[in-house]
């Protein structure tokens, strides 16, 4: 399947409000990138703030409290295609548990994969294909409950192999460290599946810690794992992954996640949390203000003590 | 400091588990490791008998040399001084190609053939207790050379057949794993807070290989819900050495994984300052450790 629209090398800088309003429809199939690090949390808050509903989401690993679970808890998600959704060091995810154990706030359809097989779904779509083969999933219960996974005999070796369907999201949100105004995005550190995701989605919104001149991009072209032609919007969102970290920019805020975990304990307290932290502010800058710039700067200093782009630490 | 291979008696149960797990890694191996106690075990191996071991984590980083404790399989720490940062599918592709000798993960349930459940307990998709899902667990269990498992020992976790088979062990035993087309070698060892378990070469059934100090095989068996086989040469687990314990206390000085540090971090008033202290103080201690061990 080929892309439906062509994207030119023109200035694509806009606000997050505008990007979400322009590209996300109710009922859209969305993917929020990052893995543990570079979580596009600002974008998730904005999608929630604009009340986009009946969404389908696809992710490899989503980290609770800053990712897909926010939209699930708000009742905005009908279908969830996922390999892992949990809090990690932050503990268990009460929102996800309520959704799958008690159908609160509503039933969600779930379609599960593993991390590699989700990566293969994005890889397939990134090349315009309809599936990819993978040697995971075999013998497990995952394909028993997900009939979109096909186990076949490999036509070349005769051995069993799993086929996973391509994932072509309508819109992907990807947070990066550096991007120029036309959308050449550079990721520092591990990439997750974002290079494939940027090619798989029809529309791509890059949120970036820093907007840099194109000449700066040209100094290190190998870092550009997402070229401009994948990208439809460039949004400047410093600290856009707060909660999680952003390699070379700021460290993960572990105590923040602990607090959010407590706030999500019941559906009522989750709603109060969302009222305060999502609906109670105008935008991500309002959120940062509320978290406190001092705190954010301390997280940046902590990260940059260990790694800072272009310097030996 | 840290030259002693003598055994210590003042260790915690988590430290014993991590030290025991560290012994499963070999020098020069490439290891795929999950975060928390598994990572501490792998780091202990690297700083003792395995200086040429390379650790990779799921997010896509290989061979990092972080000077702070990792808090996630994909936080910024995993990129610190890494050999290489890759897309995630590429790293898992490398594993499928056979570059990874050993992998270490945890689980909520395990069965007698070493199959793991990290998805749902009591029904699916509507579960009595829902947990995280596969993540990379299924991929590691499918393709890694040897799979190591670290988990808590409880009767309800060690069951005849897992409620949901997320990660393949030896499936139904015998040659069922190969027949399913899986490439990796399957589980090699399971380490819990009570003992070490391994698998029979032909039947692939789990057996008790050693009990932790102070425990009898029958006590372990009482915490397994099938009729567990006990190896005739079942031994007592080797205690941690002074060197292993000292390294663990440098890696996790505030007990985030091996103690109660996470509770302190959750304190709404003092949690953030405590966390900043953990992060800031780690640099010098870890620099020193790398210097001593290089």
Query: What would the pLDDT profile of B215-254 be if each residue is shown by its tens digit?
Result: 999 999 999 999 999 999 999 999 999 999 999 999 888 8
User: For A221, which DSSP code?
Assistant: G
A305 part of contact set with chain B, CB < 8 Å: yes
Min Cα–Cα distance to chain A from B81, Å: 8
What is the share, in percent, of chain A residues with pLDDT greater than 90? 97
Give the mutation candidate from A39, A108, A129, A140 for the B interface (greatest B CB count, under 10 A). A140
Which pLDDT does position B72 carry in this prediction?
67
Out of B76, B89, B127, name the one closest to residue A245 (CB): B76
Domain ranges of chain B: 13-262
Q: What is the ipTM of this complex?
A: 0.97
Q: Is the pLDDT of residue A227 over 80?
A: yes
CB contact under 8 A, A61 and B120: no
Active-site residues of B, by number, are 58
pLDDT tens per residue across span B105-138: 999 999 999 999 999 999 999 999 999 999 999 9
CATH class of B13-262: alpha beta
Q: Which of A112, A115, A306 sits opposite B80 (nearest CB)?
A: A306
Sheet containing strand A131-134, edge to edge, reads A131-134, A160-165, A150-153
The CATH number given to whatever domain includes residue A296 is 3.40.1080.10
Cβ of B74 within 8 Å of Cβ of A188? The answer is: no
Distance CA A118, CA B7 (A): 45
Contact flag B120-A120 (C-beta cutoff 8 Å) = no
Please, which residues bridge with residue A179 across strands?
Answer: A185, A211
Strand partners, A236: A208
Q: What is the DSSP letter of A250?
A: B
**Measured between beta carbons, which residues in chain A are less than 8 angstroms from residue B78?**
189-190
In a domain, A133, yes or no: no
Indicate the range of A92-106, A145-159, A190-204, B260-274 predicted with least confidence.
Answer: B260-274
Residue A274 belongs to some domain of the structure: yes
For A271, the domain range is 16-114+167-306
The mean pLDDT value for A36-51 works out to 97
In a domain, A149, yes or no: no
Q: Which of residues 5-24 of A touch B (CB under 8 A)?
A: none
Burial (0-12, 13-18, 19+ Cβ within 10 Å), B253:
middle
Mean pLDDT taken over chain A: 97
B58 token code pair: 């799921």
Is residue A152 situated within a structural domain?
A: no
For residue A38, being part of any structural domain is answered with yes
B188 touches chain A (CB under 8 A): no
> Which residues in chain B are contacts of A256 at CB distance < 8 A?
272
A302 with B279: Cβ contact below 8 A = yes
Q: In the prediction, which pLDDT does B255 show?
A: 84
Residues of chain B in contact with residue A119, where contact means CB-CB under 8 angstroms, are 87-89, 92
How many domains is chain A built from? Answer: 1
Q: Is B133's CB within 8 Å of A306's CB?
A: no
How far B242 CA lies from chain A's nearest CA (Å)? 28
Q: What pLDDT score does B243 carry? A: 95
Chain B: closest CA distance from residue A282 (Å): 25
In which element (H, E) is residue A303 found? helix A293-306
Query: Cβ contact (<8 Å) for A115 and B134?
Result: yes
Q: Is B76 close to A303, i.e. CB distance below 8 A? A: yes
pLDDT tens for chain B, 294 residues long, are 445 789 999 999 999 999 999 999 999 999 999 777 888 999 999 999 999 999 998 888 999 999 987 776 678 888 999 999 999 999 999 999 999 999 999 999 999 999 999 999 999 999 999 999 999 999 999 999 999 999 999 999 999 999 999 999 999 999 999 999 999 999 999 999 999 999 999 999 999 999 999 999 999 999 999 999 999 999 999 999 999 999 999 988 888 888 888 888 888 889 999 999 988 888 998 999 999 887
Cis peptide leading into B125, omega within 30 of 0? yes
pLDDT at A184: 98
pLDDT at A240 over 90: yes
Dihedral (C-alpha) A48, A263, B75, A82: value to the nearest 10 degrees?
-50
Could you say which residues from 81 to 120 on chain B have a Cβ atom under 8 Å away from some Cβ of chain A?
81, 85-89, 92-93, 96, 119-120
pLDDT of residue B208: 98
Query: pTM above 0.90?
Result: yes
Give the per-residue pLDDT at A218. Answer: 98
Which one is predicted more confidently, A209 or A311?
A209
Q: Write the pLDDT tens digit of every residue in A261-273.
A: 999 999 999 999 9
The pLDDT score that the predictor gives to residue B3 is: 55
pLDDT at A88 (0 to 100)? 86
> Within a domain: residue A8?
no
Determine contact: B291 vs chain A, CB below 8 A: no
Interchain CB distance below 8 Å, A189 and B85? yes
- pLDDT value at position B294? 74
Residue A70 lies in a domain: yes
- Judged by a CB distance cut-off of 8 A, whether residue B271 touches chain A is yes
* Whether B253 contacts chain A with CB within 8 A: no
Q: Which of A82, A135, A258 sits opposite B266 (nearest CB)?
A: A258
CA dist., res. A298 & res. A258, Å (int): 18
For chain B, positions 141-160, list CB contacts with chain A under 8 A.
Answer: 142-143
Asked if the structure places residue A48 within a domain, the reply is yes
Q: Give the residue-averaged pLDDT of A3-31.
A: 98
E strand map for A42-156: 55-58, 61-63, 77-82, 84-86, 109-112, 131-134, 150-153
Residue A241: name the closest of A28, A73, A35 by CA.
A35
């Amino acid at each position: 399947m080929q892309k439906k629209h062509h994207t030119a090398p023109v200035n694509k800088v806009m606000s997050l409000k505008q990007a979400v309003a322009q590209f996300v429809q109710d009922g859209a199939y969305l993917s929020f990138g990052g893995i543990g690090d570079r979580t596009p949390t600002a974008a998730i808050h904005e999608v929630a703030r604009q009340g986009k509903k009946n969404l389908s989401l696809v992710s490899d690993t989503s980290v609770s409290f800053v990712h897909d679970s926010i939209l699930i808890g708000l009742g905005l998600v009908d279908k969830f295609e996922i390999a892992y959704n949990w809090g990690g060091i932050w503990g268990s995810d009460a929102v996800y548990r309520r959704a799958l154990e008690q159908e609160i706030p509503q039933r969600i359809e779930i379609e599960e994969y593993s991390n590699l097989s989700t990566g293969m779904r994005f890889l397939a779509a990134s090349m315009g294909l309809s599936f990819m083969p993978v040697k995971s999933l075999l013998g497990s219960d995952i394909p028993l409950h997900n009939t979109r996974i096909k186990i076949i005999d490999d036509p070349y070796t005769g051995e069993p192999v799993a086929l996973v369907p391509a994932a072509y999201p309508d819109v992907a949100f990807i947070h990066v460290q550096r991007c120029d105004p036309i959308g050449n995005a550079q990721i520092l550190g591990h990439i997750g599946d974002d290079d494939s995701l940027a090619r798989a989605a029809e529309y791509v919104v890059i949120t970036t810690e820093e907007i840099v001149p194109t000449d700066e991009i040209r100094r290190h072209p190998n870092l550009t794992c997402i070229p401009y032609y994948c990208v439809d919007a460039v949004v400047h969102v410093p600290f856009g992954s707060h909660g999680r970290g952003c390699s070379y920019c700021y460290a993960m805020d572990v105590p923040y996640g602990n607090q959010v975990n407590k706030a999500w304990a019941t559906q009522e307290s989750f709603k109060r949390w969302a009222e305060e932290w999502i609906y109670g502010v105008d935008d991500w800058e309002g959120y940062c203000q509320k978290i406190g710039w001092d705190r954010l700067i301390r997280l940046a200093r902590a990260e940059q003590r260990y790694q800072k782009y272009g310097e030996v630490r | 400091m840290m030259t002693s291979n003598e055994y210590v008696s003042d260790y915690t149960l988590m430290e014993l588990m991590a030290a025991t797990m560290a012994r499963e890694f070999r020098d020069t191996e490439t290891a795929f490791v999950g975060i928390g106690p598994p990572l501490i075990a792998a780091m202990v191996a690297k700083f003792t008998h395995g200086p040429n071991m390379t650790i990779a984590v799921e997010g896509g980083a290989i061979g990092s040399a972080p000077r702070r404790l990792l808090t996630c399989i994909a936080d910024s720490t995993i990129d610190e001084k890494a050999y290489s940062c890759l897309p995630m599918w590429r790293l898992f592709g490398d594993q499928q190609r056979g570059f990874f000798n050993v992998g270490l993960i945890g689980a909520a349930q395990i069965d007698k053939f070493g199959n793991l459940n990290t998805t749902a307990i009591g029904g699916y998709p509507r579960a009595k207790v829902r947990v995280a899902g596969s993540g990379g667990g299924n991929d590691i269990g499918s393709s890694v050379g040897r799979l190591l498992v670290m988990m808590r020992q409880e009767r309800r976790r060690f069951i005849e057949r897992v409620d949901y088979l997320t990660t393949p062990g030896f499936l139904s035993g015998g040659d069922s794993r190969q027949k399913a087309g899986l490439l990796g070698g399957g589980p090699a060892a399971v380490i819990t807070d009570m003992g070490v378990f391994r698998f029979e070469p032909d039947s692939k059934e789990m057996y008790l290989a050693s009990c932790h100090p102070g425990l009898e095989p029958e006590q372990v068996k009482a915490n397994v819900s099938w009729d567990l086989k006990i190896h005739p040469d079942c031994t007592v687990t080797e205690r941690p050495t002074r060197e292993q314990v000292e390294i663990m206390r440098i890696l996790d000085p505030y007990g985030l994984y091996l103690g109660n540090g996470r509770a302190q971090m959750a304190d709404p008033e003092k949690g953030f300052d405590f966390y900043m202290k953990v992060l800031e103080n780690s640099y010098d201690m870890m620099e020193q450790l790398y210097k001593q061990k290089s």
